[in-house]
Amino acid sequence: MDLDGKTAVISQQLQQYDGRLAVCPPKTPHSVRVIALDRTTIAALAEHRDRQRAEAAAYGPGYRDSGYVFTCLNGDPMAPDRLTRTFKKLTALAGLPPVRLHDLRHGAASLALSAGVELKMVQEMLGHSSIVLTADRYTSVLPDAAHAAAEKVAALIIKAGCLVPGTRRRRRRQARQTPRRAGTHAGRGQPGHARRSRAHPARQIGPPAPPAPHPPAMTSPRW
């Protein structure tokens, strides 16, 4: 654990054989990884380290400084089966349904995807060798994360469309043109000025206007 660097380095695992603890390499080469820690987790680990130091001082000279984060009262690393039993007791006291300690790993991945973390980042956090493996295991969470990502992209596009290209200035709103009402003469804005002289006869309301009388025929004068 590097609290100053805000990271946790996964480089080994602790297994139990015949009642003894043995340090072993991780499960796969991809399991060796560095995980970023948030501020809340760092604060909780810092408080845990202070309590551990107080326990070491209270235990006395027989305390063994093993360097592990989670230890017994004498400083020895905690065996995996003991940690599992302790976790079961805590879940029962909290009234939670039966859940394995390893299920916290799946829960963390599901919460990360629901929060909009990219699938590639979740793959690296879990130490999966392939992104397909991550997608297959958490496909039920992907739709919600995908919709959230789509909304973020749409919001970004809409925000960019309100700005003048290449600047941060907002576009000016264009004045809306008020549609002219039927029966209003163009440019006057006063009702009652019929537009029958310009409108097509088929669009006029009411009976068509009578045709204009023809002028009298002109006859040639006679001598």
In angstroms, the CA 127 to CA 28 distance is 8
* CB contact set of 196 (below 8 Å; sequence gap of 6+): 204, 209
pLDDT digits (tens, 9 = 90+) for 75-119: 999 888 888 899 999 999 989 888 888 888 888 888 888 887 888
For residues 163, 167, 170, 173, the Cα torsion angle rounded to the nearest 10 degrees is: -70
Task: Go through the domains of the chain in sequence order and give each one's CATH number.
Answer: 1-99 (1.10.443.10), 102-166 (no CATH)
| Whether residue 185 has pLDDT greater than 70 | no
* CB contact set of 204 (below 8 Å; sequence gap of 6+): 196
Type and span of the H or E element at 22: strand 20-24
In angstroms, the CA 55 to CA 64 distance is 11
CB 111 within 8 A of CB 55: no
pTM: 0.57
Provide the pLDDT for residue 76: 92
Residue type, 76: D
